Structure 1
Amino acid sequence: MKKSILLFLIYFQLQAQSYPDFKPLRFDENYEVLQKDTVKKNWYKTMKHIPLSSSGKTYLSFGGEIRYQYFYVKNEKWGDDPQDPDGYILNRLLLHADFHSSKYYRAFIQLQSSNANGRIDPSPVDSDPLEVHQGFIDVNVISEKNKKLIFRAGRQELSYGSQRLVAVRDGPNNRQSFDAVKAILGFNNYRADFFYSHYVVAQDGIFDDYSNKKRQFWGSYFVINKIPAIKNIDLYYLVYYRENANFDDASGKEHRHSVGTRIWGKYEEWRYDFEALYQFGSVESKDIKAWTASLNTGYRFTSVVLHPEIGFKFELISGDKTNGDNTLNTFNPLFPRGAYFGLASVIGPSNLVDFHPSISLELSKNIDWVIDYDMFWRYSNQDGIYGPNTIMIYPGDSTTAKEIGKQLESEIIYTPNQYLYFRFEATWFKAGDFLKAAGTGKNMFFTGVTTQIKF
């Protein structure tokens, strides 16, 4: 079996070519370039561009992804969840077909199969055997080099900015999608998205995911590039409505508005990403007044051996100030990337102070070694701590202690080419005073191996 897998990987690498690059959103890929390719086609090129007209502008393209992961956790949820001495295996299969009829019409469909083997009480985030993950149509009203106007309707992934608020949730086993209508406008260095959507709820069955009218999400997102001095800026206004919200000091119908900005870019060896936003609205009878600010920056020493990059991330994320009053200050991260603080994904970005230095080393052209050290505190001792999906982990009334804990993470990433990806990760989480008072408070160890093939 191992020899067969190895031979497949070698054959796949020889057959596949290094263009075009894969995109985080697979529907952003464009294989029209292959219609002009004069080199003899192999099976891979044929799969990526099947002409359906004499001009080749009407064509069909296929692609996908296979991912296997093994994880082992000691003292999951700091000792409060059932313990598994053997670990578990997650696997995910994504297959898509992309049909283009001239440059004005397009249909995209993607199937997803996510399974959890050996996982104690898997959630829909881990297991969703077979679903239509995406299925939408595009009408390109304007399709020019520096201008575009696209109307999109159907089930689709949404991803914006640094994915702090709206993400595909690639880290967990099951990516998330929305039933949405969207308008995409582009002009030179400007892009604007306007959308309205219902969240798609994953179910542990076959073709049973459904559009949840009780969780509605809409808004607009603007990106302006090539600005002097600051390089790039995002501006956005997002609205989230759900009927059954639960926070430490509020529950019921949530109607939340988020207004924010992000400044990001790269200057020589510096990279920077600053984001700030404010939330207002209501949860039942309580007014929402929440906010967050994040700075993520790094500098790479290209003239030094191993090209080390020193990184620094700092986040302030509001929590509820006074339990029992008429105001809720708990920040809601909406639909963030699941593995927000690494694949261990034990804490979500609500009621949090996060101080996060890191170092990244290029061991070789295709091998990176990253070491992160995270320190977590509660922003407010009147509020609890939450998971990435705002489900409460522990309420805040057990202690006034703010220290949640410290997390040391190390990962080695090997990418021999754009088709293959291997990752080994180990995380040690030392429980702080809050976790020891709120629960069992044991130190947690997490390790995992990921193997992924894209085509």
Structure 2
Amino acid sequence: MPLRPQALQAATMALAAATCLPAHAQDLIDRLGLGGDFREVYESSRHPVFGLDRPSQDDRFLHRLQLHSDIRFGTTSRAYVELVSGRTSGWGGAPAGTQDDSLDILQAFAETRFTPGGQPLDLRAGRQELSFGSSRLVSVREGPNVRRSFDGVRGTWTLAGPMRADVFAVRPVAPRVGSFNDRSSDAEAFWGAYLADIPTALSGMRADIYYLGLNRANAGFADGRAQERRHTVGARLFGKTGAADWNFEGAWQFGRFGTADIRAWTLSSDSGYTAAALPLRPRFGLKADAISGDRRAGDGRLGTFNALYPKLPYFSEANVAAPANLLDLQPNITVSPRSDLQFNLGWNGLWKQARADAFYAPPLVAVAGTAGLGSRYIGQQWVVSGSWAATKRVAVGANYVHFQPGAALRGVGGRAGDFLNLTVHVKF
């Protein structure tokens, strides 16, 4: 069952205080690990979200510093605390708490290990990050200054080989502008089970299966606003053999949205072929998504898929669309002049899966006036990116995206635009 937010907040604060140990307890500590990372990002955006967002031109810097302490007690227990400071410069308007959070607790948990049947079982309680599979449905949300975290409990049981099982019950943390004021949401509860890295009979292929539950108050879709209680069951097949690699995932959702039934689905793929014998070792890739939308408003059934807590940005660094009511096709090519240097070029076409449903802007906002239009074509984007692992601790990245709206958005003011970002990430 979902946990009460007051209890989760109290446990998180207690864990943070517990790391300030008195002198007589210091001899219990076998190892104290300290570290962190610093990220600096420059972003320039013209007509963001196909011109449907404001301001129309935004040039800004994002500054992020994370510091952590990992205290080990023997070989079975640990306490982990991570602080985050996210600030902005040049932001047009008032930045959200995910971008401007002066100083707060990103993670603060206690963890202990048991070995039933000789297999490690780790139990964790407190504030923590979650990421499963390909991060299509549960991710840390790396794009903004403040990564996504949850308050709650989690158990991870490592089984034979790399196979492992996770069970969790948490509430998402809502970053707020200010210092030490982030709180877990009393309007959302998230729970589930995820079985990862299951061996299959096919060489080079492994599988994940999962169940994810969500309870969300006052959820909004083109069909209106209501209480959302949604259940997701899904599976992922992934692997590599020779020059080919693949990653396929499908999920089905059911539950209730107010008095309506939820019936939604998604199918996603990311496959490629690496021609290692050719210059620059090109990988020819193809990404594709089919994500359901609502076929008829007010019919007692909601067909819009909810991607829950996905990686953001999702389709490109420009973050032009949320993964709801979408058909997506993205052929791309990646070249590697050196082992530490990569470049990627891709084209991305976007269509509405259901014409009657709306276009959803990030994170999951139905854009007024986009439901029921004659065209499904949302638009397209060209993506160019590069990454350089300068050292083991320093990474540099760049992304450029040019996007153009289709007929489904031009009628509500959609405009062509551009996005550029430059990132330097240092770990220490």
Contact 2:141/2:311 (<8 A) preserved: yes
- Higher relative contact order (Cα pairs below 8 Å, separated by 6+ residues): 2
* Counterpart Cα distance in 1 of 2:272 and 2:391: 25
Structure 1 position 415, deviation (Å): 0.7
- 5 Å matches for 1:304-315? 304-315=278-289
Q: Which residue of 2 aligns with 1:87?
A: 59
- 5 Å matches for 1:50-449? 58-83=30-55, 85=57, 87-120=59-92, 121-142=94-115, 147-189=119-161, 190-229=163-202, 231-397=205-371, 399-437=373-411, 439-449=412-422
Over the matched positions of the two proteins, sequence identity in percent amounts to 33
AA in 2 matched with 1:404: I
Secondary structure of the residue aligned to 1:87 is strand
Give me the TM-score of the superposition, normalised by structure 1. Answer: 0.85
Structure 1 position 137, deviation (Å): 0.4
Q: Which residue of 1 aligns with 2:8?
A: none
Structure 1 position 62, deviation (Å): 0.8
Contact 2:47/2:57 (<8 A) preserved: no
Secondary structure of the residue aligned to 2:294 is coil
* Counterpart Cα distance in 1 of 2:57 and 2:249: 40
Size of the aligned set, in residue pairs, is 402
Contact 1:426/1:446 (<8 A) preserved: yes
User: RMSD over aligned Cα, in angstroms?
Assistant: 2.0
Structure 1 position 78, deviation (Å): 2.9
The structure-2 alpha-carbon separation of the partners of 1:395 and 1:276, relative to structure 1 and needing over 3 Å to count, comes to farther
AA in 2 matched with 1:137: A
Structure 1 position 314, deviation (Å): 0.9
Secondary structure of the residue aligned to 1:379 is coil
Secondary structure of the residue aligned to 2:363 is coil
Query: Which deviates more, 119-128 or 105-114?
Result: 119-128
Contact 2:359/2:371 (<8 A) preserved: no
Contact 1:335/1:389 (<8 A) preserved: no
Give me the TM-score of the superposition, normalised by structure 2. Answer: 0.90
Secondary structure of the residue aligned to 2:424 is strand
For structure 2, list consecutive stretches of 5 or more residues without a partner in the other structure.
1-23
The structure-2 alpha-carbon separation of the partners of 1:59 and 1:83, relative to structure 1 and needing over 3 Å to count, comes to same
AA in 2 matched with 1:217: F
Cα deviation digits, residues 255-276 of structure 1 (max 9, x gap): 0000000011111111100100
Secondary structure of the residue aligned to 1:442 is coil
Moved over 4 A (4+): 52-57
Q: Which residue of 2 aligns with 1:13?
A: none
Structure 1 position 85, deviation (Å): 4.8
The structure-2 alpha-carbon separation of the partners of 1:311 and 1:55, relative to structure 1 and needing over 3 Å to count, comes to farther
Cα deviation digits, residues 101-133 of structure 1 (max 9, x gap): 111110100001111211123122222111101
Cα deviation digits, residues 338-368 of structure 1 (max 9, x gap): 1111211110110000011000000222111
Query: Which deviates more, 343-352 or 74-83?
Result: 74-83
Structure 1 position 395, deviation (Å): 4.4
* Counterpart Cα distance in 2 of 1:300 and 1:74: 34
Query: Which deviates more, 112-121 or 246-255?
Result: 112-121
AA in 2 matched with 1:166: V
* Counterpart Cα distance in 1 of 2:211 and 2:372: 36
